[in-house]
């Protein structure tokens, strides 16, 4: 029986993608802001409801460039409950991560814990819209404004997510998207920075292209973070299918929630007030009252070739390069630690069949 993984990349029909390849072969333009790159930037601005976007080779390079663009130094307050790239981007730019605990319901950075972590060295806050559920952006911005801090959102999970004020990507100084193969929208590999104005976008575009302004002018110690024409072309093809893909994810989400509603000890992580969700992940918490532990259920699923993921275990703060930091002490992060011991993300992707869903549901329900 075919293994079921936590996700499976969505891809357009190959015959629809081949004409894009033909255009690339004809033009011989593979990178450096070619026609597909420019078209995808505009198409994403239109779809996402944002003003400016700069495409990148991946989201990690985008995070690093966002920190450079805002000249972030010293300390940055962030979450331990995320993928390691969030904190790694800080270390790569010589910045010290300061971890604070998460909200017990949304598992996003808890604004109530931010102020106590601010020191004279703090220059920014880097929250994560965990599982695509929006952070409390208003409270975070109030704190940032009070203390003169920048806000960079790791929005890797939050493609297309909207609240009452529109796109969640328009909050903070910058937001960073991931277009990795595991994401709702993918370009094989890729990422982007959402920019609030044309001046900031110009600076970011310079930074991602070695700092070049023209053939003989270099204005900053930039990096090579450009998205290729191949990836941009795939993104254009993917956008045609995105609404259908998210709709199928929504159906699976609803099916899971209905199936687990009466299962003692299984708690489906709720949304965080978003008006438009993307159903990027389906996390459940295995709590007291369920007959076996989270790790036992994880193994039981694996024994049936179903590969859920313990997103996020271990916590970032538990890894060797972080656990020596004062803010990484488990006693300071009880809610993140508890979530890390309870959560499994179940498989969810557009081509997950009802038969496959039923297999997963039966194992979790112990039917």
Active site (catalytic) residues: 183
Task: Enter the tokens of residue 66.
Answer: 């966002």
The torsion angles phi and psi of 283, rounded to 5 degrees, stand at: -85, 135
Question: Judging by beta carbons within 10 Å of its beta carbon (0-12, 13-18, 19+), is residue 3 exposed, middle or buried?
Answer: exposed
Contact 98, 75 (CB under 8 A): yes
CB 280 within 8 A of CB 183: yes
In sequence order, the 6+-apart residues with CB closer than 8 A to the CB of 151 are 124, 125, 126, 127, 140, 141, 144, 171, 172, 173
| Contacts of residue 35, Cβ cutoff 8 Å, sequence gap at least 6 | 23, 27, 29, 229
């Amino acid at each position: 029986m075919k293994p079921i993984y936590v996700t499976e990349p969505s891809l357009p029909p190959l015959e629809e993608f081949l004409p894009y390849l033909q255009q690339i072969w004809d033009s011989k333009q593979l990178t450096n802001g070619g026609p597909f790159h420019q078209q995808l930037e505009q198409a994403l601005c239109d779809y996402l409801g944002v003003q400016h976007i700069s495409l990148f080779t991946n989201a990690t390079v985008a995070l690093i460039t966002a920190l450079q663009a805002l000249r972030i130094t010293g300390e940055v307050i962030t979450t331990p409950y995320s993928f390691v790239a969030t904190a790694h981007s800080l270390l790569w730019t010589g910045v010290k991560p300061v971890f604070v605990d998460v909200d017990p319901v949304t598992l996003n950075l808890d604004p109530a814990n931010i102020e106590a972590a601010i020191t004279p060295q703090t220059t920014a806050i880097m929250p994560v819209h965990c599982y695509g559920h929006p952070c409390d952006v208003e409270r975070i911005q109030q704190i940032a404004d009070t203390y003169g801090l920048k806000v960079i959102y790791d929005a890797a999970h939050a493609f297309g997510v909207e609240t009452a004020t529109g796109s969640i990507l328009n909050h903070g100084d910058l937001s960073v998207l991931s277009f990795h193969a595991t994401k709702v929208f993918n370009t094989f590999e890729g990422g982007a920075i959402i920019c609030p104005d044309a001046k900031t976008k110009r600076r970011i575009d310079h930074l991602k292209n070695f700092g070049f302004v023209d053939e003989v002018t270099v204005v900053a110690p930039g990096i090579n973070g450009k998205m290729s024409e191949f990836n941009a072309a795939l993104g254009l093809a993917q956008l045609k299918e995105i609404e259908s893909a998210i709709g199928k994810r929504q159906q699976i989400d609803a099916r899971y929630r209905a199936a687990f509603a009466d299962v003692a000890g299984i708690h489906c992580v709720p949304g965080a007030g978003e008006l438009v969700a993307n159903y990027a992940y389906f996390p459940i918490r295995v709590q007291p009252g369920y007959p076996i532990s989270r790790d036992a259920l994880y193994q039981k699923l694996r024994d049936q070739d179903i590969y859920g993921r313990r997103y996020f275990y271990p916590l970032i703060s538990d890894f060797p390069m972080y656990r020596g930091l004062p803010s990484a002490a488990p006693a300071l992060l009880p809610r993140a630690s508890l979530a890390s011991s309870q959560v499994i993300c179940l498989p969810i992707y557009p081509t997950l069949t009802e038969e496959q869903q039923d297999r997963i549901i039966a194992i979790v329900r112990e039917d």
